Amino acid sequence: MTKDMMPSFNLFQPADIESAIGLLTDAGDKGWAIAGGQDSLDWFKDRIKRPETVVDLSGITALKGIRETADGVEIGALTTLTEVENNPIIKEKYGLLSMAAARVASPQIRNKGTLGGNVSQDARCWYYRSGLDCYRAGGNTCYADTPEGMNREHCIFGASRCVAVSPSDTAMALSSLDAQMVIQNAAGETVVAAEDFFIGPAIDITNMNILKPGDILTAIRIPAKWAGAKFYFEKVADRNTWDFALVNIASAIIEKDGIIEDIRISCGAVECVPKRLHVVEDIVRGSVANEETATLAASAASRGAAPLNYNHFKIPLMENLVKRAIRG
């Protein structure tokens, strides 16, 4: 069977969260939740993922919109990336997320793709996406981590059999904003930190986040602590439009009288999850944001890196991005 011809499945379009949870719970591991469809439809057309039940969440209005709260802001998981990019509250107070959303793929994809879908997408390793029996697909080989493997875009930290990286740009911003992810299932609601939402292959090699069958990511909450902080986001990719990051960085800094009082900084496309640079944060906290501090932080950022055959360039690239983030 040629590609681009989807296998058959039962499609449901519920109008409320409870109905969607019920459908996904009944379907178990044969179910699939679809939001904007930018990742899901590729899987279906390539005939690699073959769910029996697909639950289209796009008609659930409760999962859309951006609401300011007493504790910060809450963003519905089905809010489009374009809405996140252009929302006045996000741009004014949490501009880091607006900048990250603006760098996802292309305008057409951002118009349809959702914030929840962007952070929930699967690995983009071409071996895995091609349907090969790699570790992530349940096999016993990592085709990228071989002397002949194409691994220019793969990780330099945290490899455990699989060397694919998190493909989400907004995930780095949410990690640096101390975001919380709201998950609902038949048992109720759970709120987890963004850092705990994303998981590496050492924990679960077949998934990049903690969502299980029957779970729905309903909202993302950003605390008011980081409202109006000094933000920096930069994405380095082969092309400014469409391509996934070679390395990206997201930082939020609270300064007072030129001193860094607090900082969150995360790097993307270097690990299977958004990589929080805790060592960098500890080094620069309480220091002046100058060239000396930035250089010291950059040298610490790449400590422990284990590059593959074709991605050694990520080490100096990552170090330079850390410098730029600290200097602003």
Phi then psi for residue 61, to 5 deg, are -65, -25
Neighbours of 193 (CB within 10 A): 13
Query: Can you give the length of the chain in residues?
Result: 328
User: Which burial class, exposed, middle or buried, applies to 220 when counting CB atoms under 10 A from its CB (0-12, 13-18, 19+)?
Assistant: buried
Strands (E), the chain: 10-12, 31-34, 53-56, 66-69, 72-76, 180-185, 188-193, 216-223, 230-236, 247-256, 259-268, 275-276
20 in any annotated domain: yes
HEC string for 53-77: EEEECCCCHHHCCEEEECCEEEEEC
36 in any annotated domain: yes
Neighbours of 18 (CB within 10 A): 12
> For residue 50, what is the domain's CATH number?
3.30.43.10
Structure-block tokens of residue 313: 């360039």
| 3-state DSSP assignment of residue 187 | coil
77 in any annotated domain: no
Residues 201, 163: Cα–Cα separation, whole Å: 8
User: For the chain, how many structural domains are there in total?
Assistant: 1
Residues 6+ apart with CB under 8 A from 233: 96, 99, 100, 103, 172, 173, 248, 249, 250, 251
111 in any annotated domain: no
Residue 231's alpha-carbon distances to 249, 295, 323, in angstroms, are 11, 19, 14
Asked if 175 and 249 count as a contact pair (C-beta separation under 8 A), the reply is no
Residues 34, 218: Cα–Cα separation, whole Å: 13
24 in any annotated domain: yes
218 in any annotated domain: no
10-12 and 53-56 strand pairing: parallel
Give the domain range for residue 55: 10-59
135 in any annotated domain: no
Residues 321, 316: Cα–Cα separation, whole Å: 9
Q: Which pLDDT score, from 0 to 100, does residue 1 have?
A: 46
| 3-state DSSP assignment of residue 112 | helix
Instruction: Provide the residue-wise pLDDT of the chain in tens; the chain has 328 residues.
Output: 456 678 899 999 999 999 999 999 999 999 999 999 999 998 998 888 999 999 999 999 999 999 999 999 999 999 999 999 999 999 999 999 999 999 999 999 999 999 999 999 999 999 999 999 999 999 999 999 999 999 999 999 999 999 999 999 999 999 999 999 999 999 999 999 999 999 999 999 999 999 999 999 999 999 999 999 999 999 999 999 989 999 999 999 999 999 999 999 999 999 999 999 999 999 999 999 999 999 999 999 999 999 999 999 999 999 999 999 999 8
315 in any annotated domain: no
- HSE-up of 101 (CA within 13 Å, CB side)? 26
